[in-house]
Structure formats: C-alpha cells, structure tokens
Structure 1
Amino acid sequence: MKFFLSALALVAPAQGYLRFGCGTLSVQRLDPLVEPGAIPSAHLHQIVGGNAFNATMDPSRDIGNEATCTTCSFSEDFSNYWTAVLYFKAQNGSYIRVPQYPNALLGDLQGGMTIYYIQESFSTNGNQKITAFPPGFRMTVGNPGNGDGANPGLRYTCLQNVMTRFPETAEFPKAPCPAGIMAIHHFPACWDGKNLDSANHQDHMYNTVKGAFQPAGACPASHPVRVPQVAYETMWDTTKFNDKSLWPTDGSQPFVWSYEDSTGYGTHGDYLFGWKGDALQRAMDSTALLSTGLATQSVPQANACKIQPSVVEEIDGWLSSLPGRSAM
C-alpha cells in the first residue's frame, strides 16, 4: 500500500518540510564524492536512493533523468544519500554489523534512513525563498578523520523507544540503549549559488545549523542562497548487544563506525541531488506540502530497487577486521 501521508509530514501544521523514508539501496565500499572511481573505497557505506549510484558520479550528468528506480517513498527522488556503517566490536576484537530498522512511521522499509528537507522549521516555511539544488549538486557534512563533536547538527540519540528524540549527544551513548541508537546528520542550508561542489565538498556551503531541528541562522553574503536543510536519521538496532557482559572490560562503549571510530565524533554524511525535473522546487514553493502533487510509491516498490555490488567482500557475520582495514 502507499506510504501514509501522516508519515510524510508530521508535527503541528503539515507545512514547512518534507519527511520520508528511503530503504537501503546497497551496502558496499563506494564513495563517488570523496573517492571518485575507487573500487573499493576506504570504508563501508550504507547507500539509499536512486539506482544510478556508482563509483563515478559525473556532475555534468543529471541522475534524476538516469535512474530508473529509487528506494525512497517519493518516486521522483532519485537522489543518493549515504553514511558510514555501524559495527559492534567484541571483547576478542572481532566485529559484526549492527542491523538497521526503519522509523516507526515509515512502514516496512528495509533499513535505510528517514530523510528531511526543511524549509525553515517544522511549523512554517517562513517568508524567504527556498531554492532547490540544481542537477549535479553534491555536498558532505562531518569529517571521519578530524571530528571534534563541535557541529551541533551531528548527534546521537539513545532511544528509549522508537519515538525518542532527546537528549542528543555528540558522542556515542555510553550505556545500553533500550531501543537502539539513532544517528543524526544535519547538512548546511546556505549555498554560494555558484558551485555545484568544492574541493572538500563543503566550502561551497555555509553552516548555520543549530541542531535539533531548530531554524537555521541567516545566510552570510558569501553564501547568500537559502536551500533546504537536508537531514538524515538512521536507526541502528543495537538491542541484541545490550548485555553489559559483552562490552569492553574497561567499561567503554563497544560500537564503532566502519572506519574504526569508537567516539562517534567522526560521523559524516554524503548527499548527491537527483530529484526529477522541478519536483523539489515545487515542494519548497508550497506552504502545504500535502498538496504539492509529489508522486509516491509503495513500500514493496521501494524495497525492490537495488543495485549490483561493485565490491564483493564479506561485510556480515563475525569479521576479524572491518572491511578495508587490516586486523588490529
């Protein structure tokens, strides 16, 4: 059946943002933004969105026209969204991948993420023009090699139940979480209006994010174009690892990102725009998103969209080292 409209727009009036689910497209070591053409890339990613995703994403090509299916509930969204993958590290040094589960209101999607495009806040789109991204646009948030926890848009929530949203922490939760861990990524919402990308995939954007879905700050003259604030929520089902006897004997928490980060400070996300035609602009111009006319698809249709892996390696079961990394 169709995704419930209540799952697409929540909280107060149905205005001001898009909220929808995207199931898992693939889990493999590819990163066409940071390591274009590399097969494999340095660490494992979970990827959602359109099936045009590959190791080399040419910015001159419009993936909104090239993809033929998407794992997202809006069938005109062929964008790609990806993050690192969470693993549990056992006391003997071996690793096993932590499963994902969809947000409670998004049906039976297979893994994936909840995606947001926020105009200003949950209850209003304000009075400013929100400009949709152009074809070829891409950006990243966070830094796996130099995270410090200072970005308020990169956070974790220790889920007491599937609807928990606060408090947020900059680092991994330090105690077992009854319903798992939610990883949160808020992208900048100010663009220079000129460049589809930059050398570090971030300088063409300016970050005024305050975290916790607060309205972003004003855009500076250097980056004057207000674009939708993109955000991801990923639900990691850590519950089968809640037995503290499985945790490190020094009392530290046992989860690591797929690039061997046990603090959580290096969390990061990648975004590549791929909405078809003017679909996203129509949504951002609307004050009542339920009447935008955006096409949706069923959960089975979203789950059926997959790509063949370019990298064939073991990523599941107990591993002596993380994919792409030597045993330590």
Structure 2
Amino acid sequence: MPGICVITEQRGGEVKRASLEALAEALRKKSTVGGDVTAVVLGHEIGEAAAALAASGADQVVAFDRADLALYSSEGHCACAAQAVRDAGASVVFVAATIQGRDLAAAISGGAALDAGYAADCTAIDTDGGDLVATRPVFAGKAIIKVRCTAETFVLSLRPNIFDATLPGGSASVTTATPPFDEGSLRARVTGIAASTKGRKDVAEADIVVSGGRGAGSPEGFAPIEALAEALDAAVGASRAVVDLGWRPHAEQVGQTGKVVSPKLYVAAGISGAIQHLAGMRTSKVIVAINKDPAAPIFKVADYGIVGDLHEVLPALKDALLALA
C-alpha cells in the first residue's frame, strides 16, 4: 500500500526543524507516491510535539510515548519506527539526516527491520514516471548520483537546511502506539546526555555558520571568529585541522568526518578548502571565504571572497554589522 512515513525527531517537546523540512517535502510528494503521510514521533512526555505535528498538515500522527524512549537508542527507536512503517503500510520513509536520523535511517532500512532500499543524505528528491528519484553527493561532494529504488520500501534521509519547511497546516488525529518490546528489555540504553558546548548553536542546524581553520593561528586566534558569530547570532564551526590540534571541540567540526551543514550563510575564515571540508559545506546557500592565500581552493566554491588576514577582516566586518544594527 502506498504512503509516506516521516520519522521525526524532537527534543524537549519541540520538533526539530530538520524534521519539519522532511515532513513538508513528504507532503509535496504525496500526490506522486499516493496514500497518506504519517508523522511518527518518539520519546517521553511528547504531547506538545505530537500536537504540533497534528497541526502541520500530516494525515495522521503516531506517537510512541514511554519513559525508556526519552533518550535515543538505536535498538528501541528502530523497533518503534519500523513498526510504525509496517502499520501504516508506507512504501516511502523520510528521515532528517541529523546525527540521530542517519543512525536511525540506516538501522530501519536493514534486513532485520524493513529490508528496504536506502538513499542517504539526499539533497533533492524528484519524480519520474510515478517514482521518486533521490539526488545525493558522493566522492566527498565532487559528484552527485541519482538513486531510484526497486525494493518495496524506500528509506531516504534528507540533508537539513536544504528543503523548504513550509507546512500547509491541518488537524490530524494522534494515535498513541505501544512500543513492540517490554519496558526495560533493551540490551543497551542511554542514561544521560552531557552537552559539550553549553549554550552554543549546533552547526548542523544553524542558519549562519562562521568557521575557522589553521589561519586563526592559535586557540586564542578564534576570538574574532567567535565575536563575528555572536554578532550574527551564528554557530561557530571549525576545520578538521584545528580540531585535531585540540583548538576546538569535535562538535564544531565541519566536513566529511564531522558535520555536514547547509546554512543560509557560511563564513570560512582561515580555511584553505581541503576536499574533506568542502564535502561538509559546499551546499551552503551563500559562502564567504576569507584567506590570505589568493590561490586557496576555498575561493573556487565561494560566492564572495576576501583576500586578507582574518584577524583584520573579521573585526572590520563585525564593526560594520553593528553599525548597521
């Protein structure tokens, strides 16, 4: 039976924007796939999140609400999500390609769950003759491929900040579902989450990211990067080189082995533009590069480039922004 199931992600009762983007894209593809769009939410005390999804435009909302789902576990969330897809009879599954979503999408597409086709980190979803065709980057972003699924079920993870999150609104019913395992029976469980960058925006979800590389010169050299980020209400990012040096936490790393970002504005300061870094940010809407080397590869993907020392350029940019405020 056709239909699209969107496995959403929430935190503190608030549905993540990346999940709303996935839901909005599912609603746009509903006429092609056929059937209903079902939004699935998992966690504990998630009434607010379920209500928000019910008002989004989804045809129905399924909520798995139990204490042992409060924190993400691959085993528990995968079992619930796969059960929701089976119950809905959906042929297509959308998941936001967050850190959690990538793990979940890969898990539910496996043979032990749905035995489905899987396209990861999609940047576009088109239609062709009634089928969905996913576009995803490969080879560190140097090429793209088109993926068409021949399996009965197609699981797609959608890169955040790529798809329009505009939702039509509605008033769907919310069904509370029972997890398909006994409480306390999970073999592994998360007992807590410690925030390593308290009070800072997540680079994977921010609209604006200001990133720094070895051109900063030292850990203290990130001061103008942080100052500009504060002025722009942006997240601070970093290249792998400075993370490996211990200058910045891994949570800020942008690139193939870090986080993939697609903000509205990406500022790369003192970053040369290694292919591994470009793989994590080249889908940004606008890229501004600042580097002392006019031949730095980062300028090849930049919309705007400034040849100069970030310690001189960034304070000037910050002052100009504050003067406009």
Does TM, normalized by the shorter one, top 0.5?
no
Q: Which has the higher helix share?
A: 2
TM superposition score normalised by structure 2: 0.23
Larger radius of gyration: 2
Structure having the larger proportion of residues in strand = 2
Higher relative contact order (CA 8 A, sep 6+): 1
